[in-house]
Chains A and B, each alone.
Chain A
Amino acid sequence: MTTLRAGERYRRRIFRKSMFVAGTFAALAIAVCSDIAIGPGWYSPLEVLTALVSPESVEPKLAIIVWDVRLPVAVMAVLVGAMLGVAGAQMQTILHNPLADPFTLGISSAASFGAALAIALGIGLLPTGGSFFITANAFVFALATSLVLFLFTRMRGVTIETFVLVGIALFFTFNALLAFIQYQSSEAQLQQIVFWMMGSLARATWTKIGICALLLALVVPLAWARNSMMTALTMGDERAASLGVPVARLRLEMLTSISLLAATATAFVGTIGFVGLVGPHIARMLVGEDQRYFLPVSASAGAIILSAASTLSKGITPGVIYPIGIITALVGVPFFLSLILSIRKETWR
């Protein structure tokens, strides 16, 4: 048996990775289909398909269920999963830490605090009323947190470690403030805050879907244009810099896009943990950290997890749809533990 030369082996590896990317997208398609097909009401897949293709030909109730309930939830699951997957992959890359996720730097607790402020005290920072009142407040607080972190990166001699420590300090600060509000609020408000934080796709609307899709359409091309720089960054700051990568600017750009993605996702569907952590991990195991493959696989892995969790949230107890935040954590924790035990030591540290 002749051994192939290194270049040929590289070409084959690249082909295999492209197949993995295609494979995860196919798996995502299956997950989305089952998410749409399954739900309270127990219609057959054929009926659901008919309702999707020609809503006029089926009974109005089914058309409403499919188009106004199931489809927005399924699409939102995919978009939010992809947003968290991309944000997690970028966060792990810029912090050189595979245990980071989009919420590592306190963005989610800031959003929760903003939401609680709106729910309990009726304080909103943006002049929006109605359905976007809570969402806008959560978004503003999440972005303000990122802004504080930005200003911090401008300071001289700030290392990644101190940066993460400041993020953790912000996390605890907002958690304490949140507890303070919870202690003060009435029972009804408390319930609303807790439900908000659990994370739910039931709040999905076509407007929110449009905003998420627009954001992804802005962020993904930037991430794609920067993919070789980001791959270089995984080798370490100095090695990347000696290849001419403007490390500080790249980190700031990526932090901006992570903040927008994480803030939007949290504001719309609440805190959904583990997706942003586990998605990139699966991608790293399958295709490594070459961003051309790492990024799409992280996104689709995140989307698959959230789609599966969304399906499961409808299937556990007939007639009850559990908040997806509960399900992802329940699915996520054992999965994460099995990953840690099965994965080779070097890849996650």
Chain B
Amino acid sequence: MSLEISGLGFAYRTHRLFDRLDAPSLQRGELTALVGPNGVGKSSLFRLVAGLLNPSCGRIYLDGCDISGMSDRHRAERIFLLTQHTAMRATLCVFDVVLLAKRGWSGGKTTGDDIACVEQALEELGIDHLSDRLVTELSGGQQQLVALCQALVRNPDVLLLDEPTSALDLRRQLEVMSIVQRVTRERGIVTIAALHDLGLACRFADRFLLLYEGQIAADGQPQEVLGAEVTSDAYGVRLAIEETSNGAMMVHADLA
């Protein structure tokens, strides 16, 4: 039970982003951090996996099945992409937006279970008091929590989070990442989160993937990847990891 990428190629017009990218199999119940400098293709890789872009070659397998053979609807039920934070402009209430993610667009009647599920997810993220507000009235961080709420009710097999904490305050960042970690383990799903905050990534992720020059340049335990020379090269900084007194990891970066 896993997600696997093999020989993936993709280009935006003349700009070749990936050339035969292989990703080792990502296991269920594992929270993976996808790291790499700006513009390296983290969001594009997510879009390819979610089926929003079509690769020029290569295959993506979910539990051994090629996802290109799945229908849009089926794939969307199994893989959910939380896109990078951009403002929502819909005149819709928070509750409606989350319910929409829960129910999909299959039609039929909204059941009491659907409503209860949305209610529970809103409470879990501590935004049930916002449920009647229009999404356009919310702050960037609140919108991000709403988007995360959509991911929770969606209950996919693969959860792709593109910068899920970029607009959140410190406390919310920690809360959101622990919820993501717990949900990943409890539901046994494959979660990949693109994160810029390496310290946060190091604290919650089970595994690091470094995306650099169109390849997975490093793969392994957080400390291994952060300690690797290629990671420092990719970011153009000198990285050093230090264990703090309470066992957490501190990541130091200096301009090389």
A152-B189 Cα distance, complex, nearest whole Å: 41
Closest to B88 in A: A235
A96 neighbours in B (Cβ, 8 Å): 89
Whether a CB of chain B sits under 8 angstroms from the CB of A15 is: no
Interface residue ranges of A260-317 to B (CB < 8 Å): 284, 288-290
A contact residues, total (Cβ < 8 Å): 32
Majority secondary structure of chain B interface residues (helix, strand, loop or mixed): helix
A5 neighbours in B (Cβ, 8 Å): 119, 128
B203 neighbours in A (Cβ, 8 Å): none
Interface residue ranges of B171-217 to A (CB < 8 Å): none
Cβ–Cβ contact A243 & B100, under 8 A: yes
B131 neighbours in A (Cβ, 8 Å): 6, 9-10
Interface residue ranges of B48-76 to A (CB < 8 Å): 50-52, 72-76
B contact residues, total (Cβ < 8 Å): 47
Interface residue ranges of A210-245 to B (CB < 8 Å): 225, 228-229, 231-232, 234-236, 238-239, 241-245
Whether a CB of chain A sits under 8 angstroms from the CB of B134 is: yes
Which of B78-86, B221-229, B231-239 participates in binding chain A?
B78-86
Cβ–Cβ contact A7 & B83, under 8 A: no
On whether A243 and B76 interact (CB within 8 A), knowing A6-B119, A11-B115, A284-B91, the answer reads yes
Whether a CB of chain A sits under 8 angstroms from the CB of B116 is: yes
Closest to B96 in A: A290
Which of B1-9, B33-41, B101-109, B243-251 participates in binding chain A?
B101-109
- A11, A234, A241, A242: residue with the most chain B Cβ atoms closer than 10 Å: A242
Cβ–Cβ contact A244 & B76, under 8 A: yes
**Can you list 28 A-B pairs with a CB-CB distance of less than 8 A?**
A6-B118, A6-B119, A6-B131, A7-B95, A10-B93, A10-B131, A13-B93, A13-B132, A157-B13, A225-B107, A228-B103, A229-B105, A231-B100, A232-B105, A234-B92, A235-B88, A235-B97, A235-B135, A236-B86, A241-B52, A242-B50, A242-B52, A243-B101, A244-B72, A244-B73, A289-B91, A346-B89, A347-B136
